[in-house]
Amino acid sequence: MLGYNNDLMMVKIFFEKGAIGAKHSHPHNQTSYIEKGKFEVNIGNETKVLNEGDGFFIPPNIEHGVKALKPGILLDVFNPYREEFLR
């Protein structure tokens, strides 16, 4: 975790090639930036391949997940903060 307050949280997540961020949903707004790598990104019924420098937005309660096509880093920002990440 890079930082947070009650309204916002930023997290840096490292992926090895082939790693999967399993499909899930949560009641938070999420925006993500691909700092490094290449990812297959699933948001709802849409799948895209995104590269370093790309970003994406996920509305609350929409199922989403990723697969790292190359080693990579995602910067995820949540509003409000993810309380479960602090446990």
- Interval 60-85: pLDDT, tens: 999 999 999 999 999 999 999 998 88
Position 87 scores a pLDDT of 87
Q: What's the whole-model pTM score?
A: 0.93
83: alpha, beta or left, given left = phi > 0 and alpha = psi -120 to 50?
A: alpha
Model pLDDT for residues 22-33, shown as the tens digit of each residue: 999 999 999 999
Domains of the chain: 3-81 (2.60.120.10)
Distance CA 28, CA 77 (A): 10
Percent of the chain with pLDDT over 70: 100
Give just the sign of the alpha carbon dihedral 68, 69, 71, 74. Answer: negative
Query: Is the link from the previous residue into 27 a cis peptide, with omega within 30 of 0?
Result: no
Looking at every residue in the chain, the average pLDDT score rounds to 97
pLDDT of the residue at 1 = 87
